[in-house]
Amino acid sequence: MSRSLVVASAQMGPVATHETRAAVVERLLAMFAHAADRGADLVVFPELALTTFFPRWWQEPLAAADHWYETEMPGPDTKPLFDEAARRRVGFYLGYAELTPQGHRYNTSVLVDRQGLIAAKYRKVHIPGHEANEPWRPFQHLERYYFEASPDGFAVHEYLDARVGMMICNDRRWPETYRVMGLQGVEMILCGYNTPIHYAPDPSQDVLAGFHNQLVLQAGAYQNGTWVVATAKGGIEEGVDSLAQSSIIAPSGQVVAQAITNADEVIVAECDIDWCARYKQTLFDFDRYRRPECYSILTDADNGKSSRAAGPAATSERHIEEGERQ
């Protein structure tokens, strides 16, 4: 009998600035119930699911933004979700902004089990955007101001009889994310994202937002023989149009389910976990075919800089003018 997991991606439409956490949790609970009714074992919510995507605005001092963060998980507003997980015996992935007692700020996700207990916590490794106030942008992407990069990297956990890992948004664009978990035998990677369609540093990428999203998810799944579940907070949120298209990807790289709206929407797929072996034990048998002795540059402290032509040190994202030729 093969191992299978019924997984739901619970996509969110916009969360307005004034929307309370309680109101947002009501939306999450409605989708959670729908997913559980459809037999889901696990529900994947988006990145920073509890609030509007606040890194689109500059706030100072930084402490003025404290109200966007959770100082406890579960807290009073989120506990109903954990209680429902225990009641329905259905787990979930939830992304949120974390402010630790020591004052560290992370873009975080938790994996909650069927007892409503936190089985794992992940903090975002790849922090995109910029650190400084850049008012030239129609909207900002100040994740590097609001969040520290994770010191922990990527782990894989035994969860619901599968090897499950987590990533958040920009992590999905980096092949290292998938391979680090692939080398740990990951069979399902969970991901939440908030992706504005407009990319201010190079608007030529805007029209490719959906393609780039599919490209990296499908490649990462296939090249590491793993399922990938990626859930958006999409739609026009505080005037910013954000990519929806949440999807569930098989180890083959095939899309087995995809959201068709940019609102709250639940998609569900039955995922055969043993399907991963069809890729891990053939084409991508790491022990037989992979050549780590040829890849040492991947972990050089200088990011391989000494092997590339010298270029100016980047202080922020390069701003490529519209129509500029390289």
Q: Which residues bind ligand ING (CB under 6 A)?
A: 47, 128, 169-170, 173, 193-196, 199
- Nearer residue to ligand ING within complex by CB, 145 or 199: 199
Backbone angles phi, psi at 265, to 5 degrees: -155, 135
**Of 199 and 275, which has the nearer Cβ to ligand ING?**
199
Q: At 178, which helix (H) or strand (E)?
A: helix 175-182
**Least Å distance between CB 173 and ligand ING?**
5
Task: Name 124's Cβ contacts closer than 8 Å, sequence gap at least 6.
Answer: 106, 107, 108, 147, 149, 150, 168, 169, 170, 171
Q: How far is the CB of 172 from ligand ING (least distance, A)?
A: 7
52 versus 194: smaller Cβ distance to ligand ING: 194
Least Å from the CB of residue 234 to ligand ING: 11
- For the question of residue 233 being annotated catalytic, the response is no
Q: Which of 98, 169, 187, 276 is catalytic?
A: 169
Closest distance to ligand ING from the beta carbon of 95 (Å) = 10
Angle value at C-alpha 184, between 172 and 257, nearest 5 degrees? 45
**DSSP per position, 1-31:** ---EEEEEEEEB----TT--HHHHHHHHHHH
Q: Given the residues 98, 124, 271, 276, select the one marked as catalytic.
A: 124
C-alpha to C-alpha distance for 154 and 221, rounded to whole angstroms: 16
In this complex, which beta carbon is closest to ligand ING, that of residue 121 or of residue 144? 144
Q: Does the annotation count 84 as an active-site position?
A: no
Give dist(CA 226, CA 228) in Å, integer.
6
Q: Where are the beta strands (DSSP E) in the chain?
A: 4-11, 42-44, 91-99, 105-112, 118-123, 156-159, 162-168, 188-193, 227-232, 235-237, 240-242, 247-249, 255-258, 265-272
CA distance 29 to 325: 49
Known active-site residue 321: no
Residue closer to ligand ING, measured from CB, 53 or 82: 53
**Residues 246 and 9: beta-carbon distance below 8 Å:** yes
Q: How many CA atoms lie within 13 A of 88 on its CB side?
A: 24
Give the residue with the Cβ less far from ligand ING, 55 or 91: 55
- In the bound complex, what is the minimum distance in angstroms from residue 86's beta carbon to ligand ING? 30
CB of 273 to ligand ING, least distance (A): 27
Question: DSSP 3-state assignment of 206?
Answer: helix
Count other Cβ atoms within 10 Å, centred on residue 38: 12
Complex with ligand ING: residue 51 or 91, whichever CB lies closer: 51
- Name the packing angle between helices 79-88 and 21-37 (round to 10°): 10
Which is the catalytic residue, given 47, 70, 187, 237? 47
Instruction: Report whether the peptide linkage leading into residue 74 is cis, meaning its omega lies within 30 degrees of zero.
Output: yes
Nearest approach, Cβ of 193 to ligand ING (angstroms)?
Answer: 5
**φ, ψ at 261 (rounded to 5°):** -115, 175
**Active site (catalytic) residues:** 47, 124, 169
